Structure 1
Amino acid sequence: MKKKCLLTALFGSMVVCASAQISLSGKVVDARTGKPVEGANVRLEQTTIGCATNPKGEFLLKDIKEGTYTLRTSCLNYAPVTQKVSQSQKEMVIRLKGTTFNMDQVVVTGTGTHHKLKDSPVPVEVISQRDLQNANPSSFQDALVKLVPSISVQTTAMGTTLYVNGLPDKYLLVLINGKKVAGDISGSIDYDRINMDAVKRIEVLKGASSALYGSDAIAGVINIITDDPKSALNVSSNTRVSSHGRISESVNADANDGKLSAHLNYNYRTSDGWQLNPYEESKGELVETTKKPVYKNHSHNVSQTLSYAATERLSLHLNGNLFISENDRTGAYDYNNRHQSYTVGGTAKYLLAKRASYIEGNISTTNFRSFYDYINDAKTHKTGDEVLSKDQTYTNANLKGVFKTHENNTLFTGLDYVFEGLEPTETSKMLNNEYQSVYTLAAYVQDEVKLLDAISVVAGIRYAYNEKFKSQFTPKLSLMYQYSGLNVRASYAAGFRSPTLQQMYAVSESRGQITVGDPGLDPEKSNFYNLNIEYNHRLFSIAASIYQNDLKDKIEAEDIGTTPEDIENGITRRRQYRNIEKARVKGFDIGFSVRPFTGFMFGANYIYTDGRNRTEDIRLERTVRHSGNFNASWRKTWNDYTFNIAINGRYQGTRWSKTYGDAPAHQLWDINTRHSFNLKSVALEPAVGVENIFNYTDDRPYNSNYATLTPGRSFYVSLLVRFKQ
């Protein structure tokens, strides 16, 4: 009798459990044409449950615990749709409306928490996936030049430096999915490490952001968001070919069984390089040279991500990246440069049951190395020698929590640990020839409050303890007023940047010049003020901002004079890092976009920047006062074919330099066409375009302060092939 009761109870509990599961299935279609929308993301908010629609627009979500959920459906080129669900539904039909500009897209960089773009209390500039498709950039820096007028780029044979509102990228924090891209070449990261074929959007936050992001965020933050695998199986290949042997090939493979998903991406890039002028200046005369501003080069970039939805609320992620780049300077130098880095990391995220709250912990480590590979016999090395020139290690671990304590209140808090190490090498020796390292511990808290449905307040503070510089506090305060489509934002934020190990301890020699570190350096500090006004309408948007960023204890290398021993050893210049400057950057920007009808959009932006070295009362080195961009696009679909045409223009004013001479003002204009064929088992997207339509080149002698390294007018073709499941 007891056994019968037990079996009955067990069977009954199984029935109850089974009945407590719900499932959702149906189709996502275009609201105007009624045709299925492939690749739409259908997910239950605040859970790990979600999928992408198949070529027929179909989706299936199953094994869902009984309850009330918000179902969100989103897709590129469509406005997202949300709806409440509380029971099983079959043959659902979700209609998405096409849109040229999506103010409902979610951004995270401004506050560290999720906001719709139009509701973000801190102004964030977004380069969407559509923007990237329209511009079809050849690289990450190319995308920024075409689409973000406040960013200027200086590229030399040694690498690329970004300037944001007059400040170089040593003051800019670059993230991929919220994690720092660590390791640098002459102070700048190798931006070829960013594979544009894996990018979903780029969020640009300008101004001091140290309260949330710590050191290096004085000029701002760029957060690169990559795509997540949603389809059961997706394989794609993207090939781009242009002049001077420039080829880029990317292969992506995604797999998702609902619980476990994997994303593998490989990118190969190569270029034959080019000269802009066959002469260089030597002792006041022009002499022939084989040196190039862009040398023959190639790179390999492979990334792997594994994600596991352990439960409805717990997700686990592992990621790894390996990057190798090499150049060929045969005929100009005795050695080639090679750079390699690897990154490994893991993340665990738990969604709390109460509102939109979660706890997340992650850890990642990066090792970045540079080498000299000798191709000729030299004074100290033989052909084939490999010399390590830089060896950096960066490890970051953090634990953060977002707590929706009330419908109008969100608390964001966390702990952060950073460890940095720098090895002495043959070409970059250290003071006392010792390995150097430093750790930083930090705690931060931020509170977001919405008052009267019209005013939002964000207040936060970060406390950091650095092993070398002890305690540092950085507060922030942002206010936003909303009325209809009008947003008015005002903010203040403090910033700080710790001196790098290179600036404190390294002794570097290059071409007869020695630069020495100073262990007694102080951190650089800043105060940033910003006022932003924005109005959004269904047919147009307009925005304007005015800002000021004050820096003190700015670190620069100062000439300290040579010694008799230096002169005897061929050293012509000796410098040391010092806190020698105060600086102020102020300016304004204004921009608009117009969407008169579905499929068509055009817009323009203008940026004015006044950067001054207040110590010497001169302009900041390499600042650009006037810049702007223009873009226009049109998109039209006929049955299974979609045509897209886009024009992008960029004006950059004179880039001032006391040391190297000015770089001239110039304009670059591109036209891009993309053709999408949605076939039964494969999607094809060939593209054809012209870069630098008006054939501008800065063809001054080698080693000039070039305005741009473009080789002139270039034609390109590309082909994206995406196989359907």
Structure 2
Amino acid sequence: MIKKILFVAFIAFGSLAMVGQTTITGTVKDAKTGETLPGANIKVANKAVGTTTDFDGNFELKVTDNPPFTLEISMLGFQMKEVEITKRNEKIEVTLEENETSLDEIVVSASRTPERVMESPVTIERMDARSIKNTSSPSFYDGLENLKGVDVNTSSLTFKSVNTRGFATFANTRFMQLVDGMDNSSPALNFAIGNLLGMSELDVNTVELLPGASSALYGANAFNGIMFMTSRSPFNDQGISFSYKQGVTTQEAAGTNNVYDVNIRMAYAFSEKFAAKATLAYLQGTEWFATDHRNTRNGEYAPGDRSLNDFDGLNIYGDEVATNLGGAVGRVSRTGYEEQDLMLDYEAKSVKLNTALHYRPFGDDRLEVIFNSKFGTGNTIYQGANRYNIRDFYLAQQKLEVRGKNFFVRGYVTTEDAGNSYDSRFAAININRRWKSDQDWFTQYAGTYLVTGSHQAARAAADTGRLIPGTPEFKAAFNEVTADPNLATGSRFQDETKLYHGDVNYNFQDVIEWAEFQVGGSYRRYSLNSNGSIFTDNDGSIDYDEYGVYTQMQKKFLEDDRLKLTASLRYDKAQNFDGNFSPRVSLAYAGGENKNDNFRASFQKGFRNPTTQDQYIGLDAGSAILVGSAPDNLDRYTSTPLNVSTAGQGIVGSSTTTLSGRLAYENSFAASSVIAGAPEASSAPLVKPEEVTAFELGYRGLINAGDSRITLDVSAYYNQYNDFISAKNVLVPFYGDVELTETVPVGPGGSPVPLALIALQNGDYKAFQVYTNTTADINSYGASLGLNTKIFNGFDIGLNYTYAKFDFDQASDPDFEAGFNTPEHKVKIQFGKTDLFENFGFNINARWQDEFLWESTFLDATVDARTVFDAQINYTVPSWKSTFKLGGANLGGQEYFSAPGVGAVGSQYYLSWSINN
């Protein structure tokens, strides 16, 4: 009903708006082939009046203006052309010249000002509507993986993490993702959850991606890279578009499951001053099952007998609860539950709704006011320290923006609600505890083993009464545990954190002639609100601020403006830290007769503020307690009561004790030293921002090879990191000091023994994860090479290679894990033709990467090398205004893991139907 009302309203208003005095008709053709161009934009210069060509390349435009006036005719991949209209009812024929290469496309993100990709002072990758149509991946977001230097790590079917230049995790806080100028990361997590709050594929105008540091213009967290997604304007792209995609995923563990993806976009300019649009995207499928049951106890990561005494399966949860029963029994772990028993139906779902109102007071693009409201909800699986089932997660943004030719002012608020999300590990732990306490279970195990001498018999006896998955009793316990936000008894992930952000930018290009100057600034406030389930906000929300200001100068020199200097400087200050300066200087030189040989060099500094969790987390994750290191957070966290050994009770004077966050930073042992048998006090200064100094050289150009023109893009970079933020594992003793000054005599006339060492011997300690900065020297470096050309009379072929490496002296900081998490070598190949024959095209993508070490709080292990093939064919039916696409991802069928612990990625096949896009 709503769709019908909007449609009728669009038609009614449109009928009024299109009654005009002048009618222009015409045809738009490709200058090279003579073929007509459907979908070309025809627009009155400096006004919001326009139309597009139909599938035969024809158009009719009615306007209220009297001649003379100018029409702008444009289309992606072609050079814009202006046509002067001198009389009413004029008929014109326009030919558009195709851009020689993709390097002729215009980008904005590199310098916050329009410039050709060829002239960009830094490396940049780009996708547009044509690229999206031709991608062989199931979605445009998946297709980002085919770009040079880009990694996409798959946590689940609906959660993919984009990264460049190393140090990747699923919680990728070093890479920023902007959608129409808004940071669409989760306020509590500080990273984007894939495309959950992104945009519908039908509404994507361009995607621009800058690898490497970009803090000089975009501030904190634009550290390893930044991606800009911009949507289509309702003034320029009007009408109703629709797409329906259906397919299947296949995986050995999950079988064959359906996937549905539906998108609709409605946009209309009701007049020269007012336009509106609405988009809706819905996706539903089944997640990749995670079924890696190898034993991870003591870092073994190898098959093991689950019935034996000490077992901790990777995708088995609850078996992390273990204790040393001493003597012949040894260390024993409780029986866990497989992930499949804890993820309900593994349903993957994503719903995105985006509405926007655009108002132009003067009837042209000199000034525009935009109100944008976005809503995203869905189910996905996120892997951090544990595996989280994100269910009914809600993320929303509202933006008000005023922009003109030389400025913009925008403000937006991001709100989230974790919905019915829960931690699968704690779900298993507390389901176990609901039918039998840990103490009772281990007591029964020990008693049976002493009688039988059999671990299998002891486990069977202790498991008497265990809740069996699928039974009503298990379901009841599961529902109670996943609804309880107290991790001592439940597993619910509770959060309603908000983020408030404002941006301003002004370009003095119409005021200052000898160079282009820009100034700008930003302000951000976090309001943490997890009710004590994630952060230490039991007594109310935690608020803190960040702000920054920047300026940029761009000046061209030499004859024909061949040399371009860009210099930027930004200052940022966060509430809990000292301020940071981020400079950037770059030079770009255009050589050759037609400026087709472009050399670039840049130097810049980037920084990243510690995340909300680095500062204010207070979470018992089971294997360790995570405590943020903001100065006011150290005493905010106190643990739940911890059991003290029988031997230790005489020292503590109680059967339980509690620990504070301050002890983790000021009285703890380095975990690695205890494992090595030589306990040493840890050194974990409070966390502060990390910095990177980045150097880059590059070349973009055209090479004539006979009748072919080869596009070449090559770059190399070197990064030096200071104060790299790291999480360290420490052990806090229940009694004694780690300086070993507090001692007691052991035995009559015995020598004094430090209390803290007695605590370690008795098992009276707790593991903490603290957030700090490493003093180690860390450097990363790499290079990329891209080649694109046409062969065999118009077939597109592209090849790119990426090399990435880092240096780190582990001996200088044994407790630090760098987490580079990036293959050293990657090769990607593309081959296709958009017009193999009339209305028919195809595209093939292949990707290879070598094996690499993945380091994370979940598990450290090697990710195997892999080769993946994707392909698609498409057919256009002009009379139906439709395009059909048949494709598949990972056609080889060899399942692979993006990281240890996630579900194996199988194959996906799809058929889509797009109308009027």
TM-score tier, shorter chain, comes to 0.7 to 0.9
Are 1:529 and 2:528 counterparts?
no
Give 1 or 2 for the bigger CA radius of gyration.
2
Q: Deviations over 1:549-569 (max 9, x none)?
A: 111111111112144499999
* Contact 2:166–2:821 under 8 Å retained in 1: yes
Are 1:477 and 2:585 counterparts?
yes
Structure 2 Cα separation of the partners of residues 414 and 675 of structure 1: 46
Q: Relative to total residues, which structure has the larger helix share, 1 or 2?
A: 2
* 1:457 partner SS: strand
* 2:410 partner SS: strand
* 1:429 partner SS: coil
- Alignment length (residue pairs): 685
Q: 1:601 aligns with which of 764, 777, 796?
A: 796
Could you say if the C-alpha distance between residues 286 and 202 of structure 1 is closer, same or farther in structure 2, counting changes exceeding 3 Å? farther
Are 1:576 and 2:773 counterparts?
no
* Contact 2:243–2:912 under 8 Å retained in 1: no
Q: Deviations over 1:138-179 (max 9, x none)?
A: 345522223344324252699544331112331111111232
Mapping of residues 606-645 of structure 1, within 5 Å: 606-614=801-809, 616=811, 620-636=819-835, 641-645=838-842
Structure 2 Cα separation of the partners of residues 592 and 720 of structure 1: 31
Q: Deviations over 1:443-489 (max 9, x none)?
A: 21111111122100111111223222243211111100001310000
Q: Which moved more, 1:42-51 or 1:172-181?
A: 42-51
Are 1:501 and 2:612 counterparts?
yes
Q: Which residue of 2 aligns with 1:18?
A: none
Q: Deviations over 1:388-413 (max 9, x none)?
A: 52232122112211232467732221
Q: Deviations over 1:483-511 (max 9, x none)?
A: 13100000011111111222111112224
Which AA in structure 2 matches 1:233?
G
| Structure 1: runs of 5 or more not aligned | 1-20, 352-357
Which AA in structure 2 matches 1:60?
L
In the TM superposition, what is the alpha-carbon distance from 1:67 to its structure 2 partner?
A: 8.6
Q: Which residue of 2 aligns with 1:3?
A: none
Which AA in structure 2 matches 1:438?
Y
Structure 2 Cα separation of the partners of residues 622 and 590 of structure 1: 21
In the TM superposition, what is the alpha-carbon distance from 1:24 to its structure 2 partner?
A: 6.4
Structure 2 Cα separation of the partners of residues 585 and 151 of structure 1: 16
Structure 2 Cα separation of the partners of residues 428 and 555 of structure 1: 20
Mapping of residues 224-623 of structure 1, within 5 Å: 224-229=229-234, 230-243=236-249, 244-259=257-272, 260-275=274-289, 277=291, 279-281=293-295, 285=304, 287=306, 290-291=338-339, 295-311=346-362, 312=364, 313-326=366-379, 337-351=391-405, 358-372=406-420, 376-378=475-477, 381=480, 387=492, 389-405=494-510, 409-430=515-536, 433-452=539-558, 453-484=561-592, 485-519=596-630, 520-537=686-703, 539-564=709-734, 573-581=767-775, 582-596=777-791, 599-614=794-809, 616=811, 620-623=819-822
Are 1:188 and 2:191 counterparts?
yes
Q: Deviations over 1:34-65 (max 9, x none)?
A: 55433212345665554433455325374559
Q: Which residue of 1 aligns with 2:888?
A: 690
Q: TM-score, normalised by structure 1?
A: 0.85
Structure 2 Cα separation of the partners of residues 129 and 324 of structure 1: 25
Q: Which residue of 1 aligns with 2:869?
A: 669
Are 1:134 and 2:185 counterparts?
no
Which AA in structure 2 matches 1:722?
N
In the TM superposition, what is the alpha-carbon distance from 1:692 to its structure 2 partner?
A: 1.3
Could you say if the C-alpha distance between residues 316 and 50 of structure 1 is closer, same or farther in structure 2, counting changes exceeding 3 Å? farther
* Contact 1:166–1:623 under 8 Å retained in 2: yes
Between the aligned residues of both structures, percent identity stands at: 19
Which AA in structure 2 matches 1:228?
S
Q: Deviations over 1:73-109 (max 9, x none)?
A: 2213x41233364855722322124568433321011
Structure 2 Cα separation of the partners of residues 274 and 81 of structure 1: 45
Structure 2 Cα separation of the partners of residues 504 and 622 of structure 1: 24
In the TM superposition, what is the alpha-carbon distance from 1:233 to its structure 2 partner?
A: 2.6
Q: Which residue of 1 aligns with 2:178?
A: 175
Structure 2 Cα separation of the partners of residues 44 and 598 of structure 1: 36
Could you say if the C-alpha distance between residues 497 and 591 of structure 1 is closer, same or farther in structure 2, counting changes exceeding 3 Å? same
Structure 2 Cα separation of the partners of residues 328 and 542 of structure 1: 39
Q: Which moved more, 1:261-270 or 1:601-610?
A: 261-270
Q: TM-score, normalised by structure 2?
A: 0.69
Structure 2 Cα separation of the partners of residues 411 and 365 of structure 1: 29
In the TM superposition, what is the alpha-carbon distance from 1:626 to its structure 2 partner?
A: 0.8
Could you say if the C-alpha distance between residues 328 and 428 of structure 1 is closer, same or farther in structure 2, counting changes exceeding 3 Å? closer
In the TM superposition, what is the alpha-carbon distance from 1:534 to its structure 2 partner?
A: 1.4
* Contact 1:369–1:388 under 8 Å retained in 2: no
* Contact 1:361–1:400 under 8 Å retained in 2: yes
In the TM superposition, what is the alpha-carbon distance from 1:369 to its structure 2 partner?
A: 2.4
Structure 2 Cα separation of the partners of residues 336 and 463 of structure 1: 36
* 1:167 partner SS: coil
Q: Deviations over 1:309-356 (max 9, x none)?
A: 221222121111111112599xx99976331111010211223xxxxx
Which AA in structure 2 matches 1:698?
Y
Could you say if the C-alpha distance between residues 220 and 282 of structure 1 is closer, same or farther in structure 2, counting changes exceeding 3 Å? closer
Structure 1 Cα separation of the partners of residues 912 and 845 of structure 2: 18
* Contact 1:153–1:162 under 8 Å retained in 2: yes
Q: Which residue of 1 aligns with 2:849?
A: 652
Q: Which residue of 1 aligns with 2:82?
A: 83
Which AA in structure 2 matches 1:324?
T
* Contact 2:136–2:845 under 8 Å retained in 1: no
Q: Relative to total residues, which structure has the larger strand share, 1 or 2?
A: 1
Q: Which residue of 2 aligns with 1:57?
A: 58
Could you say if the C-alpha distance between residues 57 and 36 of structure 1 is closer, same or farther in structure 2, counting changes exceeding 3 Å? farther
Structure 2 Cα separation of the partners of residues 569 and 378 of structure 1: 31
Could you say if the C-alpha distance between residues 557 and 61 of structure 1 is closer, same or farther in structure 2, counting changes exceeding 3 Å? farther
* 1:698 partner SS: coil
Q: Deviations over 1:507-526 (max 9, x none)?
A: 12224331110014211111
Structure 1 Cα separation of the partners of residues 617 and 291 of structure 2: 35
Could you say if the C-alpha distance between residues 59 and 584 of structure 1 is closer, same or farther in structure 2, counting changes exceeding 3 Å? farther
Structure 1 Cα separation of the partners of residues 131 and 896 of structure 2: 27
In the TM superposition, what is the alpha-carbon distance from 1:68 to its structure 2 partner?
A: 8.0
Structure 2 Cα separation of the partners of residues 511 and 499 of structure 1: 23
In the TM superposition, what is the alpha-carbon distance from 1:650 to its structure 2 partner?
A: 0.8
Could you say if the C-alpha distance between residues 560 and 535 of structure 1 is closer, same or farther in structure 2, counting changes exceeding 3 Å? same
| Structure 2: runs of 5 or more not aligned | 1-20, 250-256, 298-302, 307-315, 317-336, 423-473, 486-491, 631-685, 736-758
Q: Which moved more, 1:486-495 or 1:683-692?
A: 683-692
* Contact 1:140–1:192 under 8 Å retained in 2: no
Structure 2 Cα separation of the partners of residues 620 and 382 of structure 1: 33
Structure 1 Cα separation of the partners of residues 828 and 387 of structure 2: 38
Structure 2 Cα separation of the partners of residues 345 and 539 of structure 1: 44
* Contact 1:418–1:439 under 8 Å retained in 2: yes
Q: Which moved more, 1:253-262 or 1:52-61?
A: 52-61
Q: Which residue of 2 aligns with 1:8?
A: none
* Contact 2:784–2:800 under 8 Å retained in 1: yes
Q: Which residue of 1 aligns with 2:656?
A: none
- Superposed CA RMSD: 3.5
Structure 1 Cα separation of the partners of residues 832 and 269 of structure 2: 34
In the TM superposition, what is the alpha-carbon distance from 1:239 to its structure 2 partner?
A: 2.0
* Contact 1:418–1:441 under 8 Å retained in 2: yes
Q: Which residue of 2 aligns with 1:721?
A: 915
Structure 2 Cα separation of the partners of residues 373 and 124 of structure 1: 36
* Contact 2:157–2:286 under 8 Å retained in 1: no
